[in-house]
């Protein structure tokens, strides 16, 4: 078994392609999981889709055919040519896949380093895959270690101090434009996670917020929580709001743009639109009075954020590297432990069988059975001492998988998949 991670992020894929790859509803997620899992070469698969990335993490038998199958599935699903996806994708194998997963969980690979939503998004992705019967022990154990790693990074570095999200970066950009947001009224379209974060940062910066949303239950509860500076209205009044306010932040789960040119009227003031959704919510032509900032346009602030956190990121990557090594040792140990157990069980079975045979044929007297048994066990333990030590050291060897496979062949051992992880690497 091998670990494989195929990654499309803000680093290798522009927003126009990412929005085609985006899995913005449960139906799409389930479809792509089942499509990928249809290959016998793929044992388990989880897909993470956020505004900045699409990650496909899988346990597979063979890396190359699995990579081809996954890219082909994404091409069919998104309509993007297979060759283009291969060219753009970052493909990580085995230790690289685990290191990348841990870095993602620790928010070291995020558009905004240190943002805190990613762990929750990973948990949701794994839970969804488990419910869809596409994820099991191998990937779930990797997630368990990834969450522990993220907690260490959070607790042992300052990288998440004053946590920054894409929403907060957008608000920071708005503050840069206006100097201050005190007394401003901003429109936030969508009451999901990103919309909520934008609203909270706007209010913290002194602005009033009107949240425009399709459903009422979620937005009413959110406005009650946000307090006097927040109010809400129906999405049916969206056109009215985008033509009467300077600041519009949009983050919905709509599969197509909801703010388009035909909605806009000429105004005596400049308008600034912040599109923090993937797929994009806003598709309008910019001019001297209309400016649109999409996720990728916020990279200047992000780069400043990266520079401020570079030292802490180096410490964090050290934690990721150490935890990656520990996880790989755990996986390789899970190969050697059952082999040691099976070797000793096989030896003990052989002792009992041959001892009974010797008594039946008269080679040994029955009254001598216990003494002979003790001697046979002592002799076997002495003989197996060195092989046992060497088997337990498999975790430090690159060829652990080949050695384990040879042992199983020579002694005709059968892998019990209920009790152990498959051989790896």
Point out the residues that are catalytic.
Answer: 51
* CB environment 182-215: b (16+ within 10 A), e (fewer): eebbbbbbbbebbbbbbbbbbbebebbbbbbbbe
Q: Assess contact for 163 and 116: CB atoms under 8 A.
A: yes
Pairing between β-strand 230-234 and β-strand 208-213 as defined by DSSP bridges: parallel
Query: Per the annotation, does 191 bind a ligand?
Result: yes
Query: Per the annotation, does 110 bind a ligand?
Result: yes
Output the CA–CA distances (angstroms, integers) from residue 198 to 123, 211, 411, in the order listed.
22, 10, 62
Secondary structure tally for the chain: helices H, strands E: 15, 12
260 preceded by cis ω (within 30°)? Answer: no
Q: Assess contact for 196 and 222: CB atoms under 8 A.
A: yes
Q: Assess contact for 37 and 176: CB atoms under 8 A.
A: no
DSSP 235: G
Query: Per the annotation, does 121 bind a ligand?
Result: yes
Which residues, other chains included, contact 39 with Cβ-Cβ below 8 Å and sequence gap of 6+? 65, 66, 69
Report angle CA 352, 391, 398 to the nearest 5 degrees.
150
Query: Per the annotation, does 286 bind a ligand?
Result: no
Query: Per the annotation, does 192 bind a ligand?
Result: yes
Residues in the chain: 425
Query: Per the annotation, does 193 bind a ligand?
Result: yes
d(CA 222, CA 224): 5
Closest C-alpha among 346, 320, 330 to residue 394: 330
d(CA 130, CA 360): 54
d(CA 288, CA 410): 76
Query: Per the annotation, does 115 bind a ligand?
Result: yes
Query: Per the annotation, does 194 bind a ligand?
Result: yes
Measured torsion, CA atoms of residues 166, 168, 169, 175, in degrees rounded to the nearest 10: 150
* CB environment 303-335: b (16+ within 10 A), e (fewer): eebeebbeebbeebbebbeebbeebbeebbebb
Q: Assess contact for 129 and 45: CB atoms under 8 A.
A: yes
Query: Per the annotation, does 367 bind a ligand?
Result: no
Where would I find the beta strands (DSSP E) of 142-214? 185-189, 208-213
Cα four-point dihedral sign 364, 366, 371, 373: positive
Query: Per the annotation, does 190 bind a ligand?
Result: yes
Structure tokens at 143: 């997630």
- Is the backbone of residue 284 left (phi > 0), alpha (psi -120 to 50) or beta? beta
Binding site, annotated residues = 50-53, 110, 115-117, 121, 190-195
Question: Which residues make up each annotated binding site for substrate?
Answer: 50-53, 110, 115-117, 121
Binding residues for NADP(+): 190-195
């Amino acid at each position: 078994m091998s670990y494989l991670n195929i990654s499309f992020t803000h680093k290798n894929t522009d927003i126009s392609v990412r929005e085609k790859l985006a899995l913005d509803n449960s139906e799409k997620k389930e479809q792509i999981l089942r499509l990928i899992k249809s290959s016998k070469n793929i044992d388990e698969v989880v897909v993470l889709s956020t505004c900045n990335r699409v990650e496909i993490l899988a346990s597979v038998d063979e890396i190359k055919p699995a990579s081809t199958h996954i890219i082909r599935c994404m091409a069919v699903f998104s309509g993007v040519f297979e060759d283009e996806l291969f060219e753009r994708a970052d493909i990580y194998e085995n230790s690289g896949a685990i290191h990348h997963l841990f870095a993602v969980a620790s928010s070291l690979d995020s558009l905004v380093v240190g943002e805190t939503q990613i762990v929750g998004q990973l948990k949701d992705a794994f839970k969804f895959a488990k419910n869809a019967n596409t994820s099991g022990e191998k990937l779930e154990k990797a997630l368990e270690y990834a969450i522990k790693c993220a907690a260490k990074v959070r607790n042992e570095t300052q990288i998440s101090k004053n946590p920054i999200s894409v929403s907060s970066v957008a608000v920071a950009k708005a503050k840069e434009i206006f100097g201050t947001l005190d007394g401003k009224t901003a429109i936030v379209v969508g009451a999901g996670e990103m919309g909520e974060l934008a609203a909270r940062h706007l209010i913290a910066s002194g602005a009033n917020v009107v949240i425009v949303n399709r459903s009422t239950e979620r937005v009413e509860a959110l406005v009650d929580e946000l307090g006097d500076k927040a109010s809400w209205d129906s999405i049916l009044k969206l056109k009215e709001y985008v033509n009467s306010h300077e600041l519009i932040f949009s983050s919905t789960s709509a599969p197509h743009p909801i703010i388009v040119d035909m909605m806009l009227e000429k105004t005596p003031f400049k308008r600034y639109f912040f599109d923090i959704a993937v797929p994009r919510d806003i598709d309008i032509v910019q001019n001297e009075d209309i400016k649109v900032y999409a996720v990728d346009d916020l990279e200047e602030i992000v780069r400043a954020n990266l520079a401020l956190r570079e030292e802490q990121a180096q410490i964090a990557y050290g934690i990721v590297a150490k935890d990656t090594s520990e996880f790989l040792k755990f996986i390789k140990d899970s190969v050697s432990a059952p082999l040691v157990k099976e070797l000793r069980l096989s030896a003990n079975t052989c002792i009992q069988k041959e001892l009974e045979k010797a008594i039946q044929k008269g080679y040994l007297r029955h009254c001598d059975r216990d003494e002979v048994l003790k001697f046979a066990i002592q002799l076997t333990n002495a003989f197996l001492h060195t092989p046992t030590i060497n088997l337990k050291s498999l975790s430090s060897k690159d060829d652990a998988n080949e050695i384990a496979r040879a042992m199983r062949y020579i002694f005709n051992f059968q892998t019990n998949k209920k009790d152990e992880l498959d051989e790896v690497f």
